[in-house]
Amino acid sequence: MGKIVVTEFITLNGVVESPEKWSFPYWGDDIAAYKKDELFASGALLLGRTTYEGFSEAWPDRTDEEGFADRINSMPKYVASTTLADPTWNATVIEGDVPATVARLRDEVEGDVMLNGSVTLAATLIDNDLVDEYRLLTYPIVVPEGKRLFAHDADAKLELVSSTPMASGAVLLTYRPTR
């Protein structure tokens, strides 16, 4: 049985939208190693349509010596969408009851089911108490606007599992819900 893991790049003021605009100055070997280890420990990706479309445009033609591209390209992806008709890139569209399907994935997938980005889908999982772990790579920056992970009326009580400072000043904060 795996865990449903929400893993996000996040600013100090909670913004997760458009990390390509603010996270790159903080990128380093330690963050790259962490993201690689996280990906290789996961059994599947869970994505909303917008994130899926961005990833599926960026990754299929990439290669790298570390095997990150091969891993992300080959692993199963589950996409919550009411409009995506013909997924490619090793993806299955979740139709119907998204929370029930995600709960089943927890039992069916070996390894973690990792949700990247996909703020609307994350809100659905939070509202249905389906998140087993939050991995928040928190960057030392405040941005004036953008979608926030906990922007809706979320009611999540969390316990800190670990905190890992990165060389650039970012901090990986890992939380689990207190159920």
**What would the pLDDT profile of 15-74 be if each residue is shown by its tens digit?**
999 999 999 999 999 999 999 999 999 999 999 999 999 999 999 999 999 899 999 999
Residue 9 near residue 139, CB atoms below 8 Å? yes
- Dist. CA 1–CA 43, nearest whole Å: 10
Residue-level pLDDT at 95 = 85
93-107 pLDDT per residue, tens: 998 899 999 999 999
Q: Which domain holds residue 10?
A: 4-177
Domain count, the chain: 1
Per-position DSSP letters for 103-130, written without gaps between them: HHHHHHSSSEEEEES-HHHHHHHHHTT-
- Check residue 2 and give its pLDDT: 87
Kindly report the CATH number assigned to the domain that includes residue 103. Answer: 3.40.430.10
Q: What is the pLDDT of residue 1?
A: 78
Which pLDDT score is estimated for 152? Answer: 67
Q: How far apart are CA 29 and CA 5, in angstroms?
A: 22
The mean predicted confidence, pLDDT, of the chain is 94
Supply the pLDDT for residue 18: 94
Confidence of residue 163 (pLDDT cuts 50, 70, 90): very high
